[in-house]
Amino acid sequence: MRKFLSLVIFITSCIEPYNLEIRGTQKALVIEASVTNLAGEQFVRLEYSYSLDGAIPEPVSGASIQVTDNEGNSEVFQEVWPGFYQPSSSFIGVVGRSYQLAVQTTDGTQYQSQEEELLAPSTSVNIYGEFLVLRSESDGGFDRGIQFLVDIEGANEENHNYRFEYEENYEITVPYASLLEFDPSNGTINRRDPPLGLCYLSEESRDLIIATTSGQTTSELREFPIVYISEDEPDLIGDYSLTIRSFRVSSAAYQYYKDLEENNESAGSFFDRQKGSLIGNIQNINNVSEPVLGYFEVAAVSEDFKVFEGGTWKEDGFRPDQTLQHCGNLLDTIQTVDILNGNINFGSRLIYNFGVSDFSVPGTNYSVITLLAPASCSDCRSYGTLDKPLFWD
Amino acid sequence: MKGFHSLFLIFISGFCLAQEEQFTNDSIPLEEAIEQLKAKQQNLDFFYRSEWVNNIKIHKDNLSPELATEEAITLLLKDTRLNYYLNESHVILLFNTTILTPQIREIESVNGDNVSDNVRKVIFQNENANEDPENKLFVIGNIKKYKKESNSTVNGRVILENEPISGVYVFNVEPFISAITDESGRFSITLPNGINELNFQSVTTIATKRKINVYSDGELEVKLDVDIVALEEVIISTQREKNINSIQMGLISLDPKQVSIVPAFLGEKDIIRVATSTAGVQNVGEGSAGINIRGGKADQNLFLIDNNTVFTTNHFFGFFSAFNSRGVGGLALYKNGIPLEFGGRLSSVFDIKTKKPNKEELEISGGIGVVTSQLQLEGPIDKAKTTFLINGRGTYSQYILDKFKDSSIGNNDVSFYDFTLKTYTKLNDQDEVALTAYFSHDAFKVKSDTLLSFSDFSYENKVIGASWKHVFNDNLFGILEVGNSNFGYLSSYDILPTQAFNVDLFVNEFRTAAKFDYYVNQDLNYKFGIETKSYTLSPGKKTPNGSASLINEQSIDKERALELAPYVSASYNVSKKLAVDGGVRYSIFNSFGPSEINTYEAGPPKQSSTIIGTKSYKEGEVIHSNHGPEFRVQGRYLVGSGSSIKMGYGRTRQNMHLLLNAASIAPTDVWRLSGPFIEPQLADQLSVGYFKNFFGEHLIEASVEAYYKDINNLLDFKTGAELQFNPTIETDILQGDGKSYGIEFSIAKSTGWLSGWLNYTYSRSFVRLDGDNPSEIINGGVFFPTGYDKPHYLNSVTNYKFTRRLTMTLNVVYSSGIPVTYPVGKWDFKSSENILYSDRNEFRIPNYFRLDLGLNINASHKLKKFTHSSWTFSVYNLLGRNNIYSVFFEVKDGEIKGYQMNIFPTPIPTITYNFRF
């Protein structure tokens, strides 16, 4: 019921960050398990829940783990690193089969999942972005941005449930890209190749994104929102690509994720749903009341991406803020000769370019000076990498 | 001939009702008997006033003309109030007096010469015939039944403008004995024989007194006059002694005067909010409509406006109640001992009556506040045979929006208004019809922070009701009521055209009731009748919004049911000290098709995957039926002067359930009926109380009430239950046992410069959810605190009147923090942190404390002034205490964040101008 959050904010405007006071910690087993139709994507992660102020969870090592299918095949998972288990063979899931997970921890406790069927993957995913003006969450104004959405054709009449993961790749440019560098070994200023102006950034989704076609006339998914990028974010200044991995999951898995999502979000009002521990598809076979966190997900995965050139939505009125505009004030003009003489301590500054001075330097014929800029304005590697994503042509 | 002169003086104007003895076939009219006597004893001449003998009948055995003259006349008048004076052949009849004879003189000399404290003065002749009733002496009873040093009971009736008036405080000065008039204006008071002075006080009338001369049990009728000046005055004296003498326990009755003394919130006087300042009534907090009564859930309260159900009782998410207090005549809140005419909710009944319109003249009143404004018009039409009242109220100001600069909502995004109409038409002395109409509308727009959230909401209450009261005779009247209550809401989403949809739902209740009140005598009163409610609910219908929408039209089957509830109750005064009141209501509930009901596998929990089929029910076919009696009984025992002990037991049944898993009520909550998957909720409450009034004329009322409540089939929900638009709600519902108990201390002073009340309640409320499957077992299947369990709750209202024009009020609220389900860890899953929650309601938020200040200034007290106006200043949360309303947690960008929400952490000043002309 997030929709109420904003209303309550409006009538109070007094929602403040609250320091999580630790009022006791509960330790429960977490099993995150995945069987898909893609090679290398089968794994089981075992660890314990941890304290609210804790940094990393405690892994559960030494468990014996086995996945069996409804045709009697079974696959043993080996511990690859503490708490992370993968099949030793090139085992992949087969569409149409059902899988069941069995886990036994070192103390002999046995856990078993319900059977989960590997459903057929989704047909191709159409990714597109639309310019959208939304009311701002933080003030009375509006947020302008691009909403990326997906359409998935319906293959048949049955319900389709999806979990999405996405990866964004985008260009990031700095206004005073360093074109030159000083080579102190021979005292020369050389041209950089490549210059440090254009880098690439990659970000992965960290939220649970789920969709269902349940409740619709067709099994096609239309205009399902994946990610929203507002004008004040740098992602869409240059080229941008969105890669979407769609996991076709069972309706039970969808329901679990939905409950998990609800459990993780709050409006802080009386409209909130009841919080508590969720019951997934794995349980302690000797003690069903033991809470077991996590889910055994069996899903067919398909991956699609689309590249959008910078300025795609310019016509619609989308004008991303040119960040780093303050950089102009941070330029330093330096006597080139001082650099050549090795008298300059660059610190975190890089050479942007030469400039022409109106005045020749007294005692020399040089009218050329050198412009230095801080790395944040001249070196795109402060943000990303110079390597272009492999799948960009 | 002193006595003879007095004959003409003793005529008592019609305030005394003749006490008619019941004669049947054996009776003959007195006048006829006199004629027969005259026929036998021809020498006799009778002198009397015809009105003394009109309608008086005597037993025919008392007519014995063959006896000697004096014996015959004595026998003739034996059972009447008449005496006689025989002067030769002249028989002079005397009405309720006696010509002084040596025997009578003896009595008088006892009174006059040997004055003893125990013997009251008796006057056998009226001293004067003063036209002012306050100076007149009224004679009660029959002089022939006079016994000195004995007590007699005066049964009285108080009327205001020919209408009986309830709640009038009647007291005798010496000895101090008091009573309160009931709904028919009746009161009963037992006094020592002789001269007494009865005082009559009420909020709306001019106080008066009557000097009475009590001979024996008898009757008295008192006419009161409207007090016009008293309007802004604080008088709660009508309540005085009522708490002691009334059998009813667990009752809070409020009138508009009490409303006016509690500091207005955002300029709005609110009778519901005032009710939450009384003992045992807990409010969830600001911005919440939820009221929890004696450990009951927020949907267990029946709100009635002139006996018609109002489903959503708040505006603006509970900041304002849906009832415009200007048009409210009174509120009775029953926490136990709910009268048997009411039923259908477990915890309480809020019986709200609209104000009786001004009968004398057209009156316009209104208020201009910072958030809302309102106007009310009332008065007589059609030569006062019909009176009407109409009022309206609406938001018009952005004050509240401007108060919070960070508003994410543009102008006009929150609005509400309401209207009330009330008419009374007196057809004749026996028949009166009344009409009530009520309409409320709320709309608000919510910024969509996730694309698929709803964005526009609106909801409406529509109530219309009519009643016809017929008085069959002095002892029996009946009321026929018909009404329809409708609540509906609409929410819509239209940001992404292909996903655009509307969701609407409604609840409709058609109610009829036939109620009878049979007053046998002052000791026995029967009430009986039948109430029927026909329900139609649409729990949700989702429709595509626009042609581009891919949303499938989908609706959850409508629910239909009929509930019949005959009832009978009696209230009986067993003795002067002991009175009991009780009866039974029998609820018969049937739900009907057409409907498709899912069938589930027998063993596993109900969930969409365990549906094995559906069962179809045809139109009118019974799907579900339940019935059962609700016994309710309570008693009062007077102990000593000004104190009583009361005890009560009551059962209630609830077949209409609001799906809410928080303590509060949201307009988007969905009502559902009992059915194959929802059992009726049952509550049994036992309570005991001690009531004592003391200090001077019993100015301070104190009470202690303790209760224990046991609830069956208390409705609750699984973790993460989806309550809205859920076609398989049974997969998310849990029902378990509830229990709550508490003790309520209350002290109130209702008159004087300093008045107010102070209440402290210690109470607990628990639920146990112990199903067959892990998802149906919460907290290991043991009792745990409900989300509205607040052990300590203290509130007080202190009113200080500096002058008649200036009044200050202080309001204090303190309560324990509500239970919360708190994070006790985190866990990683799908590259995000997730919250691990504690057992349900294992922790509590910090305690709540608030102080409000109000100042009321009346412009003028002049009676003849054309307009009456007043200014109200109030400061809400005077100390600006940062009360934590809730703490909550969410995962944002993969990390757990904690937030606390404070509503109104700064003082909120408001000003309201009220006028009346």
CA distance A350 to chain B (A): 33
For B838, the closest chain A residue by CA position comes to: A276
Please, what is the angle between helix B30-40 and helix B69-76, to 10°?
Answer: 170
Alpha-carbon gap, residue A323 to B114, rounded angstroms: 109
Give me the residues paired with residue B704 across strands.
B690, B745
Q: For residue A125, what pLDDT is reported?
A: 86
Q: How far is CA B214 from each of CA B16, B80, B134, B146, B156, rounded to the nearest angstrom?
A: 12, 16, 16, 8, 13
A window 323-382, beta carbon within 8 A of B: none
Q: How far is CA B395 from each of CA A10, A393, B442, B873, B910, rounded to the nearest angstrom?
A: 17, 60, 10, 19, 15
pLDDT band of B268, cuts 50, 70, 90: confident
pLDDT band of B289, cuts 50, 70, 90: low
Q: For residue B664, what pLDDT is reported?
A: 58
DSSP character string of B722-780: --SS-TTGGGTEEEEEEEEEEEEEEEEE-SSSEEEEEEEEEEEEEEE-B-SSGGGB-GG
Alpha-carbon gap, residue B477 to B90, rounded angstroms: 46
Q: Taking the alpha carbons of A248, A254, A260, A262 in that order, is the dihedral positive or negative?
A: positive
Considering only residues A8 and B753, tell me which one the structure prediction assigns the higher pLDDT: B753
**B447 contacts in chain A (CB < 8 Å):** 6, 134-137
Contact B890 A11 (CB under 8 A): no
Given a cut of 80, is residue B131 above it in pLDDT? no
Given a cut of 50, is residue B236 above it in pLDDT? no
Look at A339-348, B89-98, B194-203, B487-496 and tell me which has the smallest mean pLDDT. Answer: B89-98
Q: Most B CBs within 10 Å: which of A139, A152, A275, as the mutation test of the B interface? A: A275
Q: For residue A83, what pLDDT is reported?
A: 94
Q: For residue A87, what pLDDT is reported?
A: 94
Contact A295 B829 (CB under 8 A): yes
- Which amino acid is residue B623, in one-letter code? I
**B492 contacts in chain A (CB < 8 Å):** none
**A228 contacts in chain B (CB < 8 Å):** 451
Tell me the average pLDDT across A108-116.
Answer: 93
- Which amino acid is residue B752, in one-letter code? G
**A274 contacts in chain B (CB < 8 Å):** 661-662, 717-721, 821, 840
CA distance A183 to chain B (A): 42
CA distance A337 to chain B (A): 49
Q: For residue B348, what pLDDT is reported?
A: 93
Q: Tally the C-alpha atoms within 13 A of residue A116's C-alpha that lie toward its C-beta.
A: 29
DSSP character string of A196-230: TTEEEEEEE--S-EEEE-TTBSSS-EEEEEEEEEE
Closest CB to A135 among B447, B608, B834: B447
CA distance A171 to chain B (A): 22
* Tokens encoding B103: 């025997």
Given a cut of 80, is residue B235 above it in pLDDT? no
pLDDT in tens, B857-866: 887 655 455 5
Q: What is the mean pLDDT of chain B?
A: 81
Given a cut of 50, is residue B22 above it in pLDDT? no
Give me the residues paired with residue B636 across strands.
B579, B646
Separation of CA B784 from chain center: 32
A window 119-158, beta carbon within 8 A of B: 132, 134-140, 147, 149
Closest CA to A377 of A174, A201, A208, A240: A174
Cβ(B256)–Cβ(B376) below 8 Å: no
Alpha-carbon gap, residue A122 to A155, rounded angstroms: 7
Tell me the average pLDDT across B383-392.
Answer: 89
CA distance A375 to chain B (A): 28
Closest CB to A140 among B410, B777, B896: B410
Q: For residue B383, what pLDDT is reported?
A: 76
Separation of CA B562 from chain center: 26
Q: Which range, A33-42, A320-329, B598-607, is most confident? A: A33-42
Look at A134-143, B144-153, B275-284, B863-872 and tell me which has the smallest mean pLDDT. Answer: A134-143
CA distance A25 to chain B (A): 5
A13 touches chain B (CB under 8 A): yes
Alpha-carbon gap, residue A99 to A120, rounded angstroms: 14
DSSP character string of B827-869: EEETTEEEEEE-STT-EEPPPEEEEEEEEEEES---TT-S-EE
Alpha-carbon gap, residue B794 to B96, rounded angstroms: 57
A window 53-112, beta carbon within 8 A of B: 54, 57
pLDDT in tens, A51-104: 888 778 899 999 999 999 999 999 999 999 999 999 988 899 999 999 999 999
Q: For residue A272, what pLDDT is reported?
A: 66
A window 246-305, beta carbon within 8 A of B: 251-252, 255, 258-260, 262-279, 283, 288-289, 293-295
* Tokens encoding B903: 């509503």
Q: Most A CBs within 10 Å: which of B661, B890, B896, as the mutation test of the A interface? A: B890
pLDDT band of B130, cuts 50, 70, 90: very low
pLDDT in tens, B143-195: 778 887 888 888 888 888 777 888 788 888 777 788 888 878 888 888 888 88
Given a cut of 70, is residue B757 above it in pLDDT? yes
pLDDT > 90: what percent of chain B?
A: 29
Q: For residue B240, what pLDDT is reported?
A: 52
Length of chain A: 393
Please report where in the chains the tokens 């085992």 appear, as a residue.
A91
Q: For residue B861, what pLDDT is reported?
A: 53
Q: For residue B346, what pLDDT is reported?
A: 94
Given a cut of 50, is residue B449 above it in pLDDT? no
CA distance B663 to chain A (A): 7
Cβ(B853)–Cβ(B265) below 8 Å: no
Give me the residues paired with residue B378 across strands.
B363, B389
pLDDT band of B637, cuts 50, 70, 90: very high
Residue A157 buriedness (CB in 10 A; 0-12 / 13-18 / 19+): exposed
Cβ pairs bridging A and B (under 8 Å): 273
**A20 contacts in chain B (CB < 8 Å):** 823, 889, 896, 898
Contact B827 A57 (CB under 8 A): yes
A117 touches chain B (CB under 8 A): no
Tell me the average pLDDT across B857-879.
Answer: 74
Alpha-carbon gap, residue A376 to B13, rounded angstroms: 104
Q: For residue A140, what pLDDT is reported?
A: 55
**B444 contacts in chain A (CB < 8 Å):** 7
pLDDT band of A157, cuts 50, 70, 90: low
Considering only residues B854 and B308, tell me which one the structure prediction assigns the higher pLDDT: B308
**B893 contacts in chain A (CB < 8 Å):** 206-207
Contact B826 A54 (CB under 8 A): yes
Cβ(A66)–Cβ(A76) below 8 Å: yes
Q: For residue B400, what pLDDT is reported?
A: 56
Given a cut of 80, is residue B439 above it in pLDDT? yes
Cβ(B890)–Cβ(A262) below 8 Å: no
**A60 contacts in chain B (CB < 8 Å):** none
Given a cut of 50, is residue B126 above it in pLDDT? no
Contact B554 A215 (CB under 8 A): yes
Q: How far is CA A263 from each of CA A164, A208, B721, rounded to the nearest angstrom?
A: 19, 12, 10
Given a cut of 80, is residue B82 above it in pLDDT? no
**B904 contacts in chain A (CB < 8 Å):** 12, 14
Closest CB to B837 among A51, A208, A275: A275
pLDDT in tens, B883-914: 877 777 777 776 777 777 776 777 878 888 88
Given a cut of 50, is residue B506 above it in pLDDT? yes
Contacts of A280 (CB under 8 A, 6+ apart): A256, A292, A293, A294, A295, A296
Helices (H) and strands (E) in chain A, counts: 4, 23
Q: For residue B481, what pLDDT is reported?
A: 97
Cβ(B335)–Cβ(B301) below 8 Å: no
CA distance B781 to chain A (A): 11
Cβ(B797)–Cβ(B264) below 8 Å: no
* Tokens encoding B590: 């049937």
Tell me the average pLDDT across A159-165.
Answer: 90
**A149 contacts in chain B (CB < 8 Å):** 496
| Neighbouring C-beta atoms of residue B109, cutoff 10 Å | 10
Q: Quick check: helix, strand or coil at residue A376?
A: helix
Given a cut of 50, is residue B698 above it in pLDDT? yes
Considering only residues A262 and B226, tell me which one the structure prediction assigns the higher pLDDT: A262
Tell me the average pLDDT across B632-653.
Answer: 91
Alpha-carbon gap, residue A196 to A345, rounded angstroms: 20
Q: Quick check: helix, strand or coil at residue B587?
A: strand
| Neighbouring C-beta atoms of residue B130, cutoff 10 Å | 11
Q: For residue A112, what pLDDT is reported?
A: 95
Give me the residues paired with residue B635 across strands.
B580, B647
Given a cut of 70, is residue B286 above it in pLDDT? no
pLDDT in tens, B30-51: 888 888 887 777 777 777 777 7
Closest CB to B887 among A2, A18, A277: A18
Q: For residue B112, what pLDDT is reported?
A: 37
pLDDT in tens, B344-354: 999 999 999 99
A49 touches chain B (CB under 8 A): yes
Q: For residue B452, what pLDDT is reported?
A: 46
pLDDT > 70: what percent of chain B?
A: 84
Cβ(A10)–Cβ(B409) below 8 Å: yes
Given a cut of 90, is residue B222 above it in pLDDT? no
CA distance A106 to chain B (A): 21
Cβ(B386)–Cβ(B425) below 8 Å: yes
Q: For residue B447, what pLDDT is reported?
A: 53
Mind spelling out the 3-state secondary structure of A96-145? CCEEEEEEECCCCCEEEECCEECCCCCCCEEEEEEEEEEECCCCCCEEEE
Q: Which range, A224-233, B87-96, B705-714, is most confident? A: B705-714
ipTM (interface pTM):
0.82
For A220, the closest chain B residue by CA position comes to: B550
pLDDT band of A207, cuts 50, 70, 90: confident
Closest CB to A10 among B408, B717, B774: B408
pLDDT band of B265, cuts 50, 70, 90: low
Closest CA to B709 of B260, B417, B167, B296: B296
For A217, the closest chain B residue by CA position comes to: B552
Contact B887 A6 (CB under 8 A): no
Q: Most B CBs within 10 Å: which of A9, A11, A216, as the mutation test of the B interface? A: A11
Contact B825 A270 (CB under 8 A): no
Contact A275 B843 (CB under 8 A): no
Contact A216 B550 (CB under 8 A): yes
Q: For residue A12, what pLDDT is reported?
A: 39
pLDDT band of A134, cuts 50, 70, 90: confident
Contact B825 A132 (CB under 8 A): no
pLDDT band of A129, cuts 50, 70, 90: very high
Tell me the average pLDDT across B265-286.
Answer: 78
Q: Most B CBs within 10 Å: which of A255, A274, A290, A292, as the mutation test of the B interface? A: A274
Closest CB to A274 among B721, B843, B890: B721
pLDDT in tens, A241-261: 999 999 999 988 998 998 888
Tell me the average pLDDT across B698-713.
Answer: 92
For A287, the closest chain B residue by CA position comes to: B774
Contact B317 A264 (CB under 8 A): no
